[in-house]
């Protein structure tokens, strides 16, 4: 068993390592970006990366308090599904009205890598190799479609 402080330290070290690995990578507009804390620039739409004890995941999370608005925005993303899948070169999982770790209702589109553990530094290359191309592709997708979401 790890103490809470040790868990926090290991996770922090992972995200620092990921950030250093991604630092030289420019975004779709050729600018430097904080990949670990990616800002979409649109309220209630987030790109989240997670590295946990049994999986890693990357997701587009919709956190509008109004569930009908969440559904509307998810529908807007579904209209762009072909573009998303073209950028990602894979299908993602679509979830309407699920909950985040704080029990708040969200909807999300995600990709998950099972069987990796952020607490095991030997898994870090696999986690980074999973997250890196997907956040870069997600940035490329967002660069193409963001104007359609700015009025929500």
Phi, psi torsion values for 74, nearest 5 degrees = -60, -40
Instruction: Report the DSSP beta bridge partners of residue 51.
Output: 56
E strand intervals along 2-138: 45-51, 55-62, 93-99, 105-114
Per-residue pLDDT in tens (0 to 9) along the chain, 152 residues:
789 999 999 999 999 999 999 999 999 999 999 999 999 999 999 999 999 999 999 999 999 999 999 999 999 999 999 999 999 999 999 999 999 989 999 999 999 999 999 999 999 999 999 999 999 999 999 999 999 998 76
The answer to whether 55 and 116 are in contact (CB under 8 A) is yes
Residue 147's SS3 state is helix
Alpha-carbon distance of 136 to 121, in angstroms, equals 23
The answer to whether 108 and 78 are in contact (CB under 8 A) is no
DSSP labels, 88-107: HTS--EEEEEEE-TTS-EEE
């Amino acid at each position: 068993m790890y103490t809470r402080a040790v868990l926090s330290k290991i996770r922090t070290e992972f995200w620092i390592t990921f950030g250093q690995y991604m630092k030289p990578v420019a975004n779709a507009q050729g600018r430097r970006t904080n990949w670990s804390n990616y800002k979409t620039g649109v309220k209630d739409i987030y790109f989240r990366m997670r590295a946990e004890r049994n999986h890693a995941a990357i997701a587009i999370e919709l956190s509008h308090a109004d569930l009908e608005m969440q559904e509307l925005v998810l529908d807007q993303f579904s209209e762009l599904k072909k573009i998303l899948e073209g950028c990602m070169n894979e299908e993602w999982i679509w979830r309407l009205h699920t909950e985040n770790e704080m029990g708040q209702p969200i909807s999300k589109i995600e990709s998950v890598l099972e069987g990796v553990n952020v607490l095991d530094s030997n898994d870090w290359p696999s986690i980074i190799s999973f997250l890196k191309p997907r956040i870069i592709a997600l940035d490329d997708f967002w660069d193409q479609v963001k104007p359609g979401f700015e009025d929500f």
